Amino acid sequence: MADVLVVDDEPSIREFLEVLLSKYGHQTRTAGSLREAREALEVKAPELVVTDFRLGRESGLDVLKAARALPLPPEVIVVTAFGTPASAVEAMRQGAYDYVTKPFDNDELMLLVERAVEKRSLRAENRQLRSSALGASVFMGSSPAMQQVWSIVQKVAPTRATVLVTGESGTGKEVVARAIHLLSPRAGHPFVPVNCGAIAEGVLESELFGHVKGAFTGATSDRQGLLVSAGEGTVMLDEVGELPLGTQVKLLRVLQERQVKPVGSSREVPFEARIVAATNRNLEAEVKAGRFREDLLFRLNVISLEVPPLRQRREDVPRLAEFFLERIARELGRPRLRLSSESLEALQRFSFPGNVRQMQNVIERAATLSDTDELGLASLPPLVQGTATPMEAEPDLSLPVGFSLERHLDTIERRYLHEALRRSGGSKMKAAEQLGLSFRSFRYRLAKHGLPPDDA
Ligand SMILES: Nc1ncnc2c1ncn2[C@@H]1O[C@H](COP(=O)(O)OP(=O)(O)OP(=O)(O)O)[C@@H](O)[C@H]1O
Ligand SMILES: [Mg+2]
C-alpha cells in the first residue's frame, strides 16, 4: 500500500483514479491545481504522484518539478493527451518515472503504479546509506538479518573499535567493511583492502609493515607499509584467517602497540589507521585446530559482525535482483530490461552458494546476453535454472600478484571441507556424501589439511 497523490483539474478523473487506486489498496489524496498539489506535497511527501500533463492553464511539469525537489522525491507518472508525444518526451526528460496516454487502460496504469511504487520503496531503503556517500552501490535489504547488520554498522562506524566481519564468500563482507569506513569520520581518508590470503608470506609483511632499503633482494629503496600509508583511513585485512602463524604473531604485536617495525628495520613507526578484519573461516575452529592464534582473535574480534548467507535471507532476493538489474540496465542503456516471472522464481529457489556475488554475476550475464527486454529462464545459467551440477559454475579467474594455483586450490578444498562439515553438523559421513567423495577420500583430505578427526 502506498501513499499516492492524484493531480488533475477534471473532478471526474480525480474521482475515477481515487476509486481505482483505493481498489488496489493505495491511500489516495487528490489535488485539482498546481497550488493544491504543492500544498499536498508539503503536508506529507507521497510515494507516488499521478498527474495530468495539462492542468487547465498550468502544467503538470511544474507538479513534477515540485515533487522532484522534495528531499526523498516520489516517483511521478504523467498522463498525457493522445497525440502529444512531445509532452511525454519532455516529462521523461524531466525525471518522470513513466507516462500513460489518455484514454488509458486501467490495467496498464496499475501495472505502472505498482512498478513505480516498488522502485520508490527500494530507493527509500537505500536512502540512509546513500545520503552518507556510500552511494547507490549498496542494497541494504529489508530482511531482519540484514537490518540488524546495518544497524550494527551504523553503531560501530564512528568508533575506533576493531571489527571482525565474518560470513561466507560473496555475502558482502567487503561491502560492510567499506560501509563502516564511509560512515566513519575517516571517510575522507583511504580505504585499503589487503588480501592476506593471496600474497606470499614475505611479501605480505613488507606490504603491511613496509621495509627498508636492502632488507631483501629487490628492496632497492625504503618503502612505507600500508598500515602507515593508509594514514587516518581504514585498512581491511581481508581473508585474515589465511595469515601464516608467523605473521599472526607480528600482527598481534603491531595491533597492541599501534606501531609497525618495517622489515629490516629496528625502528618502530606509529600508525593511525583503523583495522577491519574479514574472514570466511570460522576462526574459533581455526584456533582449536591450532591454525589461528587465540590472542590475535581476541584482538580483532572486539566487535564481530556476521553477514548472513543469501539463502538465509531469501526475502531480499527479488529486490536485490531488481537492484542489480536496474544498475546493469542503466549501464547498458536498456531501461526496459526486466526479469520474467519464471526467472524470478528460479532465482528465489536457487541456493546461491556464491551468495550476493553470484547473484550479481547471474543478473549481469543475463542482461548482457539477452536480445529481448524480458529476461526469460533461458537467460539464466543452467545451474540456476536447476538443470546442471555445481561443476559448471563459473569460477573467479583473476590472477593477483603472488598468486599460487596450488595454494588457491588447497584453500578451495579446505573451504569445501569446512562447509560440508558445517552443513552436516559435523557428520563426516554426510559431509563426504555432499562433496561427492568416498568416506575414505574425505578422511584423506581432512588429514592432508591437518583437520583433526573431531573438527567440525
Ligand atoms: N548489500 C549489497 N549491495 C550491493 N552489492 C552487494 C551487496 N553485498 C554484496 N554485494 C556485491 O557482491 C559482490 C561480493 O561482495 P563482497 O566482495 O563484499 O563479498 P565478500 O563477502 O567480501 O566475498 P569474499 O569472501 O569472496 O571476499 C560485490 O560485487 C559486491 O558489490
Ligand atoms: Mg571479500
**Three-state secondary structure call for residue 36:** helix
Q: How far is the CA of 360 from the centre of ligand 1 (A)?
A: 9
Kindly tell me if the per-residue pLDDT of 392 is higher than 50: no
pLDDT given at position 136: 57
Q: Which residues contact 373 (CB under 8 A, 6 or more apart)?
A: 334, 336, 337, 338
Average pLDDT, integer, range 258-262: 95
What local confidence, expressed as pLDDT, does residue 389 receive? 47
Residue nearest to atom 10 of ligand 1 (CA): 172
Cα 19 to Cα 24, 26, 54, 104, 406: the distances in Å are: 9, 10, 21, 15, 67
Q: What is the mean pLDDT of residues 263-286?
A: 94
Phi, psi of 305 (to 5 degrees): -135, 120
| pLDDT bucket at 19, cuts 50 / 70 / 90 | very high
Q: Which residue has the higher pLDDT, 123 or 40?
A: 40
**pLDDT band at 126, cuts 50/70/90?**
low
Tally Cβ neighbours within 10 Å of residue 69: 10
From the CA of 338, how far away is ligand 2's center (Å)?
29
Neighbours of 100 (CB within 10 A): 18
pLDDT tens digits, residue range 128-145?
554 445 655 777 788 889
pLDDT reading at 50 higher than 60: yes
Distance 389 CA to ligand 1 centre (A): 24
Structural contact between residues 359 and 172, judged by C-beta atoms closer than 8 angstroms:
no
Query: Hey, what amino acid is at 158?
Result: P
Closest-lying ligand 1 atom to the alpha carbon of residue 165: 21
Residue 455 reports pLDDT greater than 70: no
Adjacent-strand bridge partners of 3 = 27
Query: Which residue type sits at 33?
Result: S
The answer to whether residue 387 scores a pLDDT higher than 70 is no
Closest CA to 77 of 21, 125, 127: 21
| Ligand 1, atom nearest to 177 Cα | 18
299 or 103, which is more confident? 299
Give ligand 1 pocket residues (Cβ under 6 A): 138-139, 167, 169-175, 280, 356-357, 360
Please give the Cα distance from 306 to 402 (Å, whole number): 29
Q: What percent of the chain has pLDDT over 90?
A: 62
Q: How much is the average pLDDT of 95-112?
A: 91
Average pLDDT of the residues in 422-439 = 87
Amino acid identity for residue 300 in this structure: L
Would you state the cell numbers that stand for residue 161, as one nine-digit string? Answer: 573499535
* Contact partners, residue 345, CB within 8 Å, separation at least 6: none
Residue nearest to atom 11 of ligand 1 (CA): 357
**Domains of the chain, first to last:** 3-128 (3.40.50.2300), 146-308 (3.40.50.300), 311-392 (1.10.8.60), 405-448 (1.10.10)
The one-letter code for the residue type at 130 is R
Name the closest-CA residue to atom 24, ligand 1.
Answer: 169
DSSP alpha helix (H) spans, 137-244? 144-156, 173-182, 201-209, 226-229
Q: What's the 396 CA to ligand 1 centre distance in angstroms?
A: 13
The pTM score is 0.62
> What is the pLDDT of the chain when averaged over all its residues?
89
Give the pLDDT confidence of 221-242 residue by residue, as tens digits. 999 999 999 999 999 999 999 9
